[in-house]
Amino acid sequence: MLRIGIDLGGTKTEGIAMGADGRILLRERRPTPQAQGYDAILANIQSLVADLERQAGEHCRVGIGTPGAISTRTGCLKNSNTVCLNGKPLPADLERLLEREVRIANDANCFALSEAIDGAGQGQPVVFGVILGTGVGGGIVVDGRLLAGAQHIAGEWGHNVLEADGPPCYCGKRGCVETLLSGPGLARDHAAHGGDPSLDAQAIVARATAGDACAEATMRRYLERFGRALSVVVNILDPHAIVLGGGLSNIVRLYSDGRKQLGRCVFDAAGSAEGADVATWPATGNTRFPLLLRNQHGDSSGVRGAAQLWTVQECA
């Protein structure tokens, strides 16, 4: 049976039909009608699934990746930045509309699953998938199975407080990792230190590469925070591989300067022979330190992982 994966984003909704061998056979993208509200978003998903099934010529299983998570207490969506979905019984409503069982997971979990099954983290026992984009998220895959956690928030490192006096976050706290390592967070920090407030993250990275002193200072702060924030995950989870995704995963310096900062902060490297040469430790692939990898499937990772929800079970 073919599997349909749906990536429900704030601005676009993407759907694919995936074969048993993992090949994407069909793909379709549509705007997400966020302004029209919850019912319009559900109707858009229903129509997208119907179109993909009509083209595929068969009934398909459906997996959906969405920002936020399903509350284990209420069965409703929580923590989504598409706020009209919060507090809504998304799984039950979609199963009613689509007339079948539907599997739903956080979009970062779907990214991590895709990269762990047949992407950059393939073959690694424990994979931490990182999203660095408009927001910051993460997902954990253990032996090919998602680790969702008791409250379905496993991997949500983006809402660890990194700097208590930092910028306010939509979650109600201040100085969350997301407020400092997201694209908007990088741009905000640049402006706060005298940089051009009209520049986005991509432009700041380009200016730093070209030798702009203010942009370079911004990047150094960013890379130091990256290492400090990610080291907390490594110290607790001790993954075999960390796969970076999202728009900021294209920053080349994350895999050189960023991993140096990570190496300086990880507990096992502190004061050790390995810690003395942090320029190479994450790339060695030995059993003591995780690989730091760029994603293999790019923007398709999330929607591929949604389809692959039907190939795995969550960890207990």
Please state which CATH number belongs to domain 122-295. Answer: 3.30.420.40
Per-residue pLDDT at 170: 87
CATH superfamily of 3-110+301-310: ATPase, nucleotide binding domain (3.30.420.40)
Tokens of 245: 């995704």
What's the CA gap between 86 and 293, in Å, rounded? 33
Per-residue pLDDT at 45: 97
User: Got the DSSP string for 225-264?
Assistant: HHHHHHHHHHHHH--SEEEEESGGGG-GGGGTHHHHHHHH
- Sequence length of the chain is 316
Under 8 Å CB-to-CB from 43, ≥6 apart: which residues? 97
Segments of the chain scoring below 50 in pLDDT: 271-287, 315-316
Helices 38-56, 90-98: crossing angle, 10 deg rounding = 40
Q: Delimit the domains of the chain by residue range.
A: 3-110+301-310, 122-295
Per-residue pLDDT at 269: 53
Q: 3-110+301-310 with 122-295: one CATH topology?
A: yes
- For 139-177, the pLDDT digits (tens) are 999 999 999 999 889 999 999 999 999 999 988 999 999
List, in sequence order, the alpha helices (H) in 57-182: 90-98, 107-118, 177-181
Q: How far is CA 298 from the centre of its chain?
A: 11
Tokens of 137: 């998220």
Per-residue pLDDT at 311: 83
What's the CA gap between 227 and 139, in Å, rounded? 18
Q: Where are the beta strands (DSSP E) in the chain?
A: 3-8, 12-18, 24-31, 61-66, 69-70, 77-78, 102-106, 126-132, 136-142, 145-146, 241-245, 291-294
Per-residue pLDDT at 299: 86
pTM of the model: 0.89
Per-residue pLDDT at 278: 47
Q: Are 277 and 259 in contact (CB under 8 A)?
A: no
Q: What is the per-residue burial (b if ≥16 Cβ within 10 Å, else e) of 99-126?
A: eeebbbbbbbbbbbbbbbbbbbbeebeb
Radius of gyration of the chain (CA): 20
